[in-house]
Amino acid sequence: MKLDRILKLSIIILLLSAVLWALLTNDRTPTAVSDSQWLMGTLVEMRVFGSQSAMRGAFKRIEEVDHAMSRTHPDSYIYAINASAGESWVKVDQDTFHVIQASIEYAALTQGLFEPSIGPLVELWAIGTPRASLPSAEAVEERKQLINYHDIQLDVEKRQVKLGAAGMGIDLGAIAKGYGADAAAAFLRNQGVKSAFLNLGGNVYVLGAKPDGTPWRIGIQNPEAPRGTHMAVLEVEDTSIVTSGPYERYFIEDGIRYHHILDPVSGYPAESGLASVTIVSPSSTAADALATGVFILGMEKGLELLENLDNVEGILVGDNRLVYVTSGLKGRLLSLAEGFELYE
């Protein structure tokens, strides 16, 4: 009898231990918190498997980038640089200096088609604002003369920036969101967050894998359908996915659609034969800049550039609905939408 009681007691202890272990394991599962805010001219959404304070800090980092790099905000560093064009140096913060440096590098990499000094043309066309309209050929030609990334002068020691000619203007709209995503992701990592989903108006960053260890499934925007309609799906971990295309912002005048991706060489919206470009890279800064640069470069030159870059892959959709992918993404596109054909 005594042996039976000892055996029963042992079983009870084992059962209690199992229940306690299950409870402790569940407690270690990170809690999901989510929120959205209007920043950088778009809706920024986050789903963070971690603390509310970590997510708030990530939003704060994006807000800091937005405040520093806005072309139109009177208190931003970019506004100050543009206002002092051709006259004086402007001391900037580390974030802004880094992004301007990176912008110049991507300008060189894309043969000047990603162009950080495109501000005068952006202002002239005003696409995405109520002022958007077709400018005169003379006005386009005049503004083109002010665009040259070689005239962006940097003083590394003093962290200062100067534009070489009056009337010049920096516009970081094609790279700042990417940097904002990188900055927010870095903050979350430093807070110990292992899994998170960030969406800055279509600039997506996934931190790690999903909490259950499976990859994130990210939809690639269908360039012919409303936002949120997918052309394909990609499974990814710990990387960024940025898509750029003429469907994002545009206006129609006399039956012609004029989109926001401006070619600094022609001065007009780019006509490259592409419907969209998606860049996949651990650096959202790189992905953002390259999505624009490759779109203007076009299919052949764009693919050639991407194949020669480390840690960068791309999905290029032609106007003819043919889908080209770089070698690192071969066989990884899922659920290709009807009407699109993968080029093999």
219 and 101 assigned to the same domain? no
pLDDT higher than threshold 80 for residue 7? no
Chain mean pLDDT for the chain: 92
Residue 307: alpha-carbon gap to chain centroid: 20
Domain finish residue from 163, 178, 204:
163
pLDDT higher than threshold 80 for residue 202? yes
Would 304 be classed as within a structural domain?
yes
154 and 264 assigned to the same domain? no
223 and 330 assigned to the same domain? yes
336 and 222 assigned to the same domain? yes
234 and 337 assigned to the same domain? yes
123 and 220 assigned to the same domain? no
pLDDT digit string (tens) for 89-119? 999 999 999 999 999 999 999 999 999 999 9
Q: Which residue has the higher pLDDT, 211 or 8?
A: 211
pLDDT score at 248: 82
Q: For residues 55-73, give the mean pLDDT.
A: 97
Would 315 be classed as within a structural domain?
yes
Q: Provide the strand spans (E) within the chain.
A: 32-39, 42-49, 90-91, 152-155, 160-163, 196-200, 203-207, 216-221, 230-236, 239-244, 250-253, 256-259, 274-281, 313-318, 322-325, 333-334, 341-342
Residue given tokens 């309209």 in the structure block: 133
Would 175 be classed as within a structural domain?
no
What is the total count of domains within the chain?
Answer: 2
Reported confidence tier of residue 4, pLDDT bands at 50, 70, 90: low
327 and 255 assigned to the same domain? yes
pLDDT digit string (tens) for 125-172? 999 999 999 999 999 999 999 999 999 999 999 999 999 999 999 999
- What CA–CA distance (Å, rounded) separates 67 from 61? 10
Would 200 be classed as within a structural domain?
no
Domain finish residue from 163, 182, 205:
163
Would 198 be classed as within a structural domain?
no
129 and 237 assigned to the same domain? no
Would 46 be classed as within a structural domain?
no
Reported confidence tier of residue 34, pLDDT bands at 50, 70, 90: very high
Reported confidence tier of residue 344, pLDDT bands at 50, 70, 90: confident
CATH code where residue 123 lies: 1.10.3980.10
Residue by residue, DSSP assigns 102-166 as: HHHHHHHHTTT-S-TT-HHHHHHH-TTSTT-----HHHHHHHHTT--GGGEEEETTTTEEEESST
Q: Which domain holds residue 76?
A: 72-163
Q: For residues 210-220, give the mean pLDDT.
A: 96
157 and 227 assigned to the same domain? no
Residues in CB range of 147: below 8 A, 6 or more apart: 115, 117, 118, 120, 121, 168, 264
pLDDT higher than threshold 60 for residue 10? no
Q: Which residue has the higher pLDDT, 150 or 228?
A: 150
Looking at residue 39, the DSSP 8-state letter turns out to be: E
Would 38 be classed as within a structural domain?
no
CATH code where residue 286 lies: 3.10.520.10
238 and 332 assigned to the same domain? yes
Q: For residues 310-320, give the mean pLDDT.
A: 97
pLDDT digit string (tens) for 159-185? 999 999 999 999 999 999 999 999 999
